[in-house]
Structure 1
Amino acid sequence: MSKHDIGGAAACAQNIQKLAMSRRSFMLSSVSALVGAGILASSRADAQEAASDATLKIGMARDIGSFDPAVAVTSTVIAANLLIFERLYETSYSDRQTRAQLAIGDPEQLGETLYRVKFRTGSVFHNGEPVTAEDVAFSINRIVDAKNGSFYRQFVPFIKTAKPIADNAVEIELLYATDLLKDRLAVVGIAPRSLVQRDLEEFGAKPIGSGPYRMVAASANDQVVLERFDGYKGSTPGLVKKVQLKIITDAAARIAALDVGEVSIVEEPGDLDLDALRSNPEIKVELQPGFLASFVMFNCSKPPFDDKRVRQALMYAIDKDELINVALFGNGKPAKSLLPQHHPLYREPETQYGYNPDKARELLAEAGYADGLKIDGRAFICQTYLTPWNESAANLIVSKWREMGFDVQQNVGGEAIYSNVVNANYDVLIAITDQSWFGWDGSLLYEWFHGAFWSAQLNHFKGEQAQRMQELLQKSMLGDVDRAALLSEVQAIILEETPMSLLFHRDVPTAWRPADIHGVVPLQTASLDVRTISVNRG
């Protein structure tokens, strides 16, 4: 990670990854990795009835970090950056389709690995400077260049380089042919080259983009204020004069702010709060099936977790239904695969880890632990990422493990636990993730968790099957392949070897005040997209 705070939309898994990717600082906060109340407006037709001079007030759960789009990952920063920056293409968080934003049309293929992308002329950054082909190419290349340590590089591994070829066009050369270029360009925020090169730290604190809103103020543990940019040339101009992202990290205080109308919509209303919110006739609550998940990860380099039978035994000792009913109050589904069941590439795996204590004991006995699981006479350490529902789930898991004679010491914490993970100083980790904010194609979702980075540096899964998994993931990014079949084979390896495994996919809650705002459609992913939400007049 780096010193930039990872929060909201990116779940704690994202934390770990960025922390390890940039050892400049471990404290890349995934203190968060929380879910946001994903929001997108259903229609702009109501805009005429809205108060265009109003301020949209939002309660956010996470603090801010850098706003630099090459590294930004906290929920509050992601919500702000959707308003500050444009991308060549963007993936809708409502229908999951990728469409042109700054670009004009789809990428034009010039050769097997060569593409041209044209973009809208006349666009300007918030400081009045024009958006040039040099800016667009620079924004792509600084993410692709490994020495920059961009969090987003992992999503565009096939891009070799980009170069300007006209006033409004760039040429993108790939390392290999793929049909994912358009989808993956949606993670690249276009930034002014001159400002980034002049002072990167200042740019991260005071970002300049070409989106419909410009930053007015940002204070840690306080708020982010954005104002409509009248020079915006795109198709989604701001519907309100200002957007105020109020940072309210205490869940009870955040809900109270919604209750009394201090804010009109909140990020991450907890499952425990949903019934109380529903009882308030002035508040609407909806849930959408999402990707957001808790997962178990093993340190496969440390005995006895280098034995897959031990890893399998621990998974058979988990009652996923109990986790959902108790920790999530019924708001989720058991994870049968990395992909949720509503994903178009989901295929039902043959292997499943249902709750089976007898099978768990049988596997432990085969592995030489018939009398219970200890490591050199000590308890094994379960690192648990601290969010209310993940901690509740972890407590249930650890309780079941102890009932079976596993000697477990639980270490619950925030960002500090990730330094242990990066340094391989852990046995088991229970944490949360939602990488669907960065894309919806199946290869991206699998590459995030099971690509070479995680296997080499986090769960240390090695060997013949690990190599086979990497080959399949690489092949799944090529064009003209049966991606669902390839990813199903990857999933089969994951279930057999169990270096890490998802426990459930949590439903994503959204809560807002319909009397204050309109056009809200709950999303299936974390953080917020509020570009088309309007404030009601009067």
Structure 2
Amino acid sequence: MRDQARHARRTFLKRAGALGATASLTSLTSLTACGPRSTIDLGGNGADRTLTAVIGYGNDGSWDPAQTASAFAMAANNHVYEGLADTDPITRAPYPALATRLPADPDATVWRFTLRPGATFHDGRPVTADDVVFVFDRILDPATPTLARGFFASWLKEARPVDTRTVDLVLRFPFPDGIARLTLAKIMPKHVFARPGAWDDAIRGLAVGSGPYRQTGHHPKSNTTFAAYDRYNGPRRPAFPRMNWLTIVDAASRVARISGVDAGAQISDNIPYANIPRLEQGGLSVGGGAGMNNLFLMFNTAHPPFDDVRVRQALHYAIDRQKIVEVALKGHGKPASSFLNDANPAYRRAKTVYDHDPERAKALLKAAGVSGLRIDLLAVNVSWIVDCLPTIKASWDAIGVPTTLFPQETTAVFTKMDQKQDYQVVAAVSNPNQFGLDADLIMHYNYGPENLWTGYARWAGHAVAKRLFKDMDAATREPDPEKKRAMIQDYIDVVAEQAVIYPVVHNELITAWDPRRVTGIRAQPYPGINVLTARWV
């Protein structure tokens, strides 16, 4: 595990997919246990043709399933890998994947799983209990700070092999919500990823799973290709012999690739709101998914005056959120009234809601003794975020806080965070629904004593933060669902009041597809696509 720990520390940012990989196809060819990776094959006719998809996010982030928050990689990994259980991409209801069934008693503190007979990895080797234990040992190892550890360590004690096809998960206390989280522990072949340097290979794009599609080519900043795995015998069979996923971050180029008589793709995510009418007029189906996708502000609490809660609140009260929704989002969003979006089952309107109130903002700044404040707003350059920034600037200018906008590549912004460079305020995008819907998971993704985001905000040592973390842990352990929900809602009120890392608006994500060519597509409320229930028309 020491090698893994060194690797994890060295790639702290890469685990969130913030640093791009630079590996080429040739450099990865010798790494895969599946043999040489093919060049791009776009041939085929009829049902044998290639499904071409356009993803509006980079494919050069980390592909390590336990580390990544990359939208492209997470979506792809859901087709390449399996968990013991996986979840439906829309309802998020769990179903048996590598396991033959879900736990009969979700409240038990030992869950026994039997692996699917005949399940093999893409190199033909059988999936065993040792592979399952290998993955969970890595996730739970405190010396290997994977992103996934935050989703499991509080409630899962260990994974124990029973025989070659049977494994027990031993829980610290009853935790039924953990069943859905098993999809976040993608089972990886020990014989591939236990060798020295394999985790670096996984970051750069090496993917060997047991899922319905195997990766056949990976070209960072260009495309990734897949083929149906002919030995797959699981619950969601592959319908497309081949897939080619293009990474096109530029919105205009993305729309052009899916529209018009010469359209080369059948599906695209991250569609700009302004293009919806044109695409619908061209015969495409356009669907939206409203969820936790949000523009948030993060304050550097080690940089006065942002250590003062009144200043953070003032800047939130100053923002004309409704104008952002109307002008930048074209109506496809809502002002945040809690950390959670209002469709989340645990949602309750927060006690502190930042309605547009410039006079209150000025009064809070005055009470904090702040005058002459000027802000450099560091922001990621995601297209819809950039559209929102002018309203934030105008709102802060209007209360006497001149603001300069600094939109930059996402990698540049979070490299600064990782290097602990000084900053004032960051505007960025987040969507914890990539990992699941339960509020406990969402809040632990964003807040915690060892959390990535609270580290960036320099807030984990604050007395209020320490109390918050204790309240969060108590809610995790609460067995009664209604009490648990109330406890979560209560500590979300603290998060809202403190406004250290807090959403401004929640928006809708738009997917477009050609219904004359593909069916079974469902627009999801988080980045990427899922075609495990899709097929050719």
Deviations 1:262-303 (A, max 9, x none): 0001121112222322232x2121222221100111111221
Deviations 1:413-446 (A, max 9, x none): 1121213333151111111101101111110111
What is the match of residue 59 of structure 1? 54
What is the match of residue 389 of structure 2? 394
Secondary structure class of the residue paired with 1:148 = coil
Q: Find out whether 1:419 has 2:419 as its counterpart.
A: no
What is the match of residue 95 of structure 1? 91
Q: Percent identity?
A: 27
Secondary structure class of the residue paired with 2:407 = strand
Question: Which shifted more, 107-116 or 265-274?
Answer: 107-116
Contact between 2:292 and 2:525, CA under 8 Å: does it hold in 1?
Answer: yes
Q: Decide whether aligned partners of structure 1 residues 393 and 126 sit closer, same or farther in structure 2, where only a CA change above 3 A counts.
A: same
Aligned pairs for 1:425-436 (under 5 A) are 425-436=422-433
2: distance between equivalents of 1:490 and 1:296? 19
What is the match of residue 184 of structure 1? 181
Contact between 2:17 and 2:68, CA under 8 Å: does it hold in 1?
Answer: no
2: distance between equivalents of 1:75 and 1:288? 15
1:138 counterpart letter in structure 2: F
Secondary structure class of the residue paired with 1:522 = coil
2: distance between equivalents of 1:134 and 1:508? 39
Aligned pairs for 1:98-497 (under 5 A) are 98-107=94-103, 113-157=109-153, 158-198=155-195, 199-200=197-198, 201-204=200-203, 205-259=205-259, 260-280=262-282, 282-369=283-370, 372-374=371-373, 379-414=374-409, 415-422=411-418, 423=420, 425-452=422-449, 453-454=451-452, 456-461=454-459, 462-481=461-480, 482-497=483-498
What is the match of residue 28 of structure 2? none
Deviations 1:368-421 (A, max 9, x none): 12xx342xxxx3321111112112212211121112111333221112121333
Deviations 1:181-226 (A, max 9, x none): 2122110111110110125144553321111111111112222111
CA drift at 1:21: 7.4
2:429 counterpart letter in structure 1: I
For structure 2, list consecutive stretches of 5 or more residues without a partner in the other structure.
Answer: 1-6, 21-44
1: distance between equivalents of 2:221 and 2:396? 38
CA drift at 1:76: 2.3
2: distance between equivalents of 1:505 and 1:31? 25
Secondary structure class of the residue paired with 1:493 = helix
2: distance between equivalents of 1:504 and 1:380? 20
Contact between 1:56 and 1:534, CA under 8 Å: does it hold in 2?
Answer: no
Aligned length: 493
Question: Which shifted more, 473-482 or 182-191?
Answer: 473-482
1: distance between equivalents of 2:100 and 2:443? 30
2: distance between equivalents of 1:433 and 1:325? 20
2: distance between equivalents of 1:209 and 1:427? 42
Deviations 1:111-141 (A, max 9, x none): 9743322221221111111100001111121
2: distance between equivalents of 1:439 and 1:26? 21
| Bigger relative CO (Cα 8 Å, ≥ 6 apart) | 1
Deviations 1:480-512 (A, max 9, x none): 132220111111111222212111110111111
Deviations 1:82-129 (A, max 9, x none): 111111111212212122211122236699743322221221111111
Contact between 2:75 and 2:528, CA under 8 Å: does it hold in 1?
Answer: yes
Task: Please report the TM-score for the alignment, with normalisation by the length of structure 1.
Answer: 0.87
1: distance between equivalents of 2:443 and 2:94? 19
Task: Please report the TM-score for the alignment, with normalisation by the length of structure 2.
Answer: 0.87
2: distance between equivalents of 1:470 and 1:393? 31
Contact between 2:317 and 2:357, CA under 8 Å: does it hold in 1?
Answer: yes
Q: Decide whether aligned partners of structure 1 residues 315 and 456 sit closer, same or farther in structure 2, where only a CA change above 3 A counts.
A: closer
Contact between 1:300 and 1:306, CA under 8 Å: does it hold in 2?
Answer: yes
Secondary structure class of the residue paired with 2:327 = helix
CA drift at 1:29: 4.8
Contact between 2:174 and 2:479, CA under 8 Å: does it hold in 1?
Answer: no
